[in-house]
């Protein structure tokens, strides 16, 4: 029922593919409601949750993803086509997660080295992300996308993100996109990253470039409308938005 709660803490994914510190979802639907995933770790994708191969993740109720760590996607990661992540409740909190390139695991991370340090809160590498409510805050990425990274590394791949509400705040990235980072690493990528922001607020995020949002190469169509940017900062370019290449 609505009052039931689930708590998973202190788990680590280190064997096998090292994905999904607490939860790994493949070709399935996972509705996570009224629970907490905290203090979990994966040396590759998804400190708390990793979804793969047409999986669907919905975050509902009073749902908290806090203090998790991974090489890519500190809180949540999505790494294969046909996957969907949706946040549609004010009670959802994605907070204090970290995506950090772990030098000690250099050999293990070789297969995902281009995505390492991407997406402190959430990494979307191939699929769809929708956010209409909830909060993504105080997350950190050593490279790009402190709050959310929409990142394409494969030649035939695409990412679609639609943000109509909610809050992305106080996130930070070592290189680009303190709040949100949009980027395709391969110049031959077929589709790229399409993002539409038609609501919500991005505030107090920080990065070297693009404190609020960084729009990089292969980013496809980026639409910004009725979205509030406030107190975002960049050390070099674009406190609110950095449009680098498309």
**Rounded alpha-carbon distances, angstroms, from residue 4 to 25, 61, 155:** 21, 10, 43
**Rounded Cα distance, 33 and 49, in Å:** 14
Q: In 10 A of CB 38, how many CB atoms?
A: 20
pLDDT tens sequence for the chain (246 residues)? 455 555 666 565 554 457 888 899 988 999 998 889 999 998 888 999 999 888 999 998 899 999 999 999 999 998 776 789 999 999 999 999 999 976 445 555 454 555 689 999 999 987 889 999 999 999 999 999 999 998 876 544 578 889 999 999 999 999 999 999 988 765 544 456 788 899 999 999 999 999 999 988 766 678 888 899 999 999 999 999 998 765
Residue 139's closest CA among 77, 94, 96, 93?
96
What lies within 8 Å, CB to CB, of 16 at 6+ separation is: none
Q: What is residue 159's predicted lDDT score, i.e. its pLDDT?
A: 81
Whole-number Å distance between alpha carbons of 78 and 219: 18
Predicted pLDDT at 231: 97
Determine the Cα angle at 211 with ends 166 and 117, to 5°: 90
State residue 114's pLDDT score. 54
Report d(CA 58, CA 69) in Å as an integer. Answer: 20
Q: For residue 136, how far is the Cα from the chain centroid?
A: 9
Among 109, 121, 205, 207, smallest CA distance to 161 is for: 121
**Which residue, 180, 182, 131, 187, is CA-closest to 159?**
182
> How many separate helices (H) and strands (E) can be counted in the chain?
0, 31
Rounded to the nearest 5°, which phi and psi values hold at 188?
-95, 10
């Amino acid at each position: 029922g609505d009052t039931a709660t689930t708590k998973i803490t202190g788990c680590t994914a280190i064997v096998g593919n090292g994905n999904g510190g607490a939860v790994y979802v493949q070709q399935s639907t996972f509705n996570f409601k009224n629970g907490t995933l905290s203090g979990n770790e994966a040396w590759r994708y998804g400190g708390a949750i990793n979804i793969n191969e047409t999986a669907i993740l919905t975050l509902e109720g009073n749902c908290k993803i806090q203090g998790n760590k991974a090489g890519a996607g500190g809180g949540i990661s999505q790494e294969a086509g046909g996957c969907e992540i949706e946040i549609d409740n004010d009670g959802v909190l994605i907070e204090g997660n970290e995506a950090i390139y772990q030098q000690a695991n250099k050999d293990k991370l070789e297969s995902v080295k281009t995505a390492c340090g991407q997406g402190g809160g959430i990494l979307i590498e191939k699929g769809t992300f929708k956010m209409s409510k909830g909060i993504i805050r105080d997350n950190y990425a050593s490279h790009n996308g402190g709050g959310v990274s929409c990142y394409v590394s494969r030649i035939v791949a695409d990412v679609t993100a639609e943000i109509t509400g909610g809050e992305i705040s106080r996130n930070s990235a070592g290189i680009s996109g303190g709040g949100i980072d949009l980027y395709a690493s391969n110049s031959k990528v077929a589709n790229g990253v399409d993002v539409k922001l038609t609501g919500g607020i991005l505030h107090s995020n920080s990065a070297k470039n693009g404190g609020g949002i960084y729009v990089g190469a292969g980013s496809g169509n980026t639409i910004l409308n009725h979205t509030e940017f406030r107190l975002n900062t960049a050390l070099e370019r674009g406190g609110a938005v950095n449009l680098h290449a498309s």
